[in-house]
């Protein structure tokens, strides 16, 4: 299986240059001008287009059992939707129930993910603490290619990690050369605010953002960063949604602390007016945590990406259909939290980032792929167009446009938070492990073709 991508401009995080890209099997085998290819090679004409590393979505939830239901996209439909949008690797989450063995949960998720059409890898959540969790973390890092652990500081009475769990798990992660990540929201405060709102009879989706104001997120971000600082661990904050959280990251980084931040495509372009719509189904469709915020937070998030204090872009793809969201019709705390976007992230970030001059094409590659590969130790296998890297490639038409709609999307759930948005900058071809899986609007995803990507621990640096 040989493919040559001819005549495009290769964009890596460090530079852009004119070159052909030759792929053989699942790898890139040559990058250069005027490359020869065997007569049987598939030829992709990329003239006038960019040739970029496939996107890495650092945050998805396919087939997640959550809040009494299961997300609409499974690992096949979710990864296939990603491929259609130029995302070739997803980082999903194993989320054990409290008291459940991490290893058992990990194997369950690995089983579900076998049907993936694109590559995948897992963060494992630490939702409780015991000696067995300490042991399981070791096994996961040593034997199962896991190098990141997730901590939900919210979702009280469910998967919330208390401070003891954070401290013990961060300490263990440091010992193992793994990176702790956090969902930063103070779960006690959220719970209290939710009960207050319900007592006052405020039960609709407009109560959702009121129960999770920026201060609630900032408190948790500051706490996680402080714990990481005392223990000497790096920390990665998922779905940073507000200026106050970003400030915590920026301050810590300015003092030399290794803190990373993730922005969601949705938080970058959607504001909190969605919760006040008289169309309650529409408002419920936007319920996710942290919630969409006021416009000045979006401006801050873009500044974070431009200034290097936010490093990755993701989606938190976690789709529920209208019937599932209706479980919270009388009580906003019962609306399953989550929105989609895996199919749209690359175009949304390109359109709103590169299209407005906020990001260069190389900076786009950095925040959609390369930084993720480096932070989570998949680089240079992922996140780079170079000899020896995986042939996960997106051929990108910067002039092409698409109007996003649930009616035409590949993802399930029948809803799209970017509905009606016309984006300029679209994938014309996606290659995953050397296979053409998307071409000019046609999805050729193959169930089960995706591979688990092992991510080794970060070894201590020795001279
Ligand atoms: O609302 C969200 N984000 N749902 C998915 C779980 C999480 O908090 O990431
Ligand atoms: Zn979260
Ligand atoms: Zn999430
Ligand atoms: Zn349904």
Residues 223, 104 share a domain = yes
d(CA 101, CA 130): 10
- pLDDT confidence of residue 208: 98
Q: Is the CB of 288 under 6 A from ligand 1?
A: yes
The ipTM estimated for the assembled molecules is 0.94
What are the C-alpha distances in Å from 343 to residues 92, 311, 436? 15, 20, 17
Torsion angle, alpha carbons of 358, 224, 314, 251, to 10: 10
Query: Quick check: 459 pLDDT over 90?
Result: no
pTM across the whole model: 0.98
Task: Give domain status of residue 306, yes or no.
Answer: yes
Q: Whose CA is nearest to atom 2 of ligand 1?
A: 338
Q: Is the CB of 286 under 6 A from ligand 1?
A: no
Residues 166, 40 share a domain = no
Residues 76, 37 share a domain = no
Residues 172, 132 share a domain = yes
Task: Give domain status of residue 404, yes or no.
Answer: no
How many of the other CB atoms lie within 10 Å of CB of 437? 27
Pocket test for ligand 1, best of 289, 328, 340 (most atoms within 8 A of CB): 289
Average of per-residue pLDDT values in the chain:
98
Residues 94, 209 share a domain = yes
| CA-based nearest residue to 102, from 155, 161, 177, 183 | 161
Residues 435, 298 share a domain = no
Stronger pLDDT, 330 or 463, i.e. the higher one: 330
- pLDDT confidence of residue 462: 62
d(CA 228, CA 249): 12
Residues 222, 197 share a domain = yes
Task: Give domain status of residue 287, yes or no.
Answer: yes
d(CA 308, CA 329): 40
Residues 81-120: tens digit of each pLDDT: 999 999 999 999 999 999 999 999 999 999 999 999 999 9
Task: Give domain status of residue 415, yes or no.
Answer: no
| CB 401 within 8 Å of CB 426 | yes
Residues 362, 318 share a domain = yes
Task: Give domain status of residue 147, yes or no.
Answer: yes
- Dihedral sign, CA of 99, 64, 321, 420? positive
Task: Give domain status of residue 182, yes or no.
Answer: yes
Pocket test for ligand 1, best of 78, 217, 337, 340 (most atoms within 8 A of CB): 337
d(CA 14, CA 23): 21
Task: Give domain status of residue 459, yes or no.
Answer: no
**What is the CATH number for 41?**
2.30.40.10
**What is the CATH number for 259?**
3.20.20.140
Task: Report how many domains make up the chain.
Answer: 2
Distance 59 CA to ligand 2 centre (A): 9
Domain boundary among 375, 410, 434: 375
How many of the other CB atoms lie within 10 Å of CB of 142? 12
d(CA 331, CA 434): 48
Query: Quick check: 130 pLDDT over 90?
Result: yes
Strand-pairing partners, residue 151, are: 182
The ligand placed nearest to the CA atom of residue 123 is 3
What domain range includes position 203? Answer: 54-375
Atom of ligand 1 nearest to the CA of 154: 8
Residues 371, 436 share a domain = no
Residues 200, 86 share a domain = yes
Distance 8 CA to ligand 1 centre (A): 38
Residues 134, 92 share a domain = yes
Residues 197, 76 share a domain = yes
Task: Give domain status of residue 256, yes or no.
Answer: yes
């Amino acid at each position: 299986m040989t493919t040559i991508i001819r005549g495009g401009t290769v964009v890596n995080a460090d530079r852009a240059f004119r070159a052909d890209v030759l792929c053989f099997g699942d790898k890139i085998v040559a990058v250069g001008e005027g490359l020869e290819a065997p007569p049987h090679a598939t030829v992709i004409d990329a003239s006038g287009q960019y040739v970029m590393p496939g996107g890495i979505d650092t945050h998805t939830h396919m087939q997640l059992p959550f809040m009494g239901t299961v997300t609409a996209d499974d690992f096949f439909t979710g990864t296939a939707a990603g491929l259609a949008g130029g995302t070739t690797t997803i980082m999903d989450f194993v989320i054990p129930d409290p008291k459940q063995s991490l290893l058992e949960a990990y194997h369950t998720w690995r089983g579900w993910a076998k049907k993936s059409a694109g590559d995948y890898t897992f963060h494992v959540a630490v939702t409780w603490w015991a000696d067995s969790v300490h042991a399981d973390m070791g096994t996961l890092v040593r034997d199962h290619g896991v190098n990141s652990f997730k901590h939900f500081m919210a979702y009280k009475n469910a998967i919330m990690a208390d401070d003891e769990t954070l401290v013990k798990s961060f300490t263990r992660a440091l010992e193992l050369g793994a990176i702790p990540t956090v969902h930063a929201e103070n779960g006690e405060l959220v719970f209290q605010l939710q009960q207050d709102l319900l007592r006052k009879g405020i039960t609709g989706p407009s109560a959702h953002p009121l129960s999770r104001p920026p201060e609630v997120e900032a408190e948790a971000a500051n706490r996680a960063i402080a714990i990481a600082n005392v223990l000497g661990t790096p920390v990665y904050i998922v779905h940073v949604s507000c200026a106050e959280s970003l400030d915590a990251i920026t301050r810590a980084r300015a003092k030399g602390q290794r803190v990373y931040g993730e922005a969601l495509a949705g938080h970058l372009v959607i504001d909190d007016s969605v919760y006040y719509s008289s169309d309650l189904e529409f408002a419920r469709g936007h319920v996710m945590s942290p919630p969409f915020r006021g416009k000045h937070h979006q401006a801050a998030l873009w500044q974070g990406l431009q200034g290097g204090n936010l490093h990755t872009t993701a989606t938190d793809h976690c789709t529920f259909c209208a019937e599932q969201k209706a479980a919270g019709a009388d009580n906003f705390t019962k609306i399953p939290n989550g929105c989609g976007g895996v199919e749209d992230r690359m175009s949304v970030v390109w359109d709103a980032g590169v299209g407005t001059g906020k990001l260069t094409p190389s900076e786009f590659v950095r925040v959609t792929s390369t930084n993720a590969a480096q932070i989570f130790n998949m680089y240079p296998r992922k996140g780079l167009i170079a000899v020896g890297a995986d042939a996960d490639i997106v051929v990108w038409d910067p002039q092409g446009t698409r109007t996003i709609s649930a009616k035409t999307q590949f993802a399930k759930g029948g809803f799209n938070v970017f509905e009606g948005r016309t984006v300029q900058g679209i994938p014309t071809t996606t290659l995953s492990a050397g296979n053409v899986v998307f071409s000019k609007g046609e999805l050729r995803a193959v169930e089960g073709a995706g591979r688990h990507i092992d991510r080794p621990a970060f070894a201590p640096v020795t001279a």
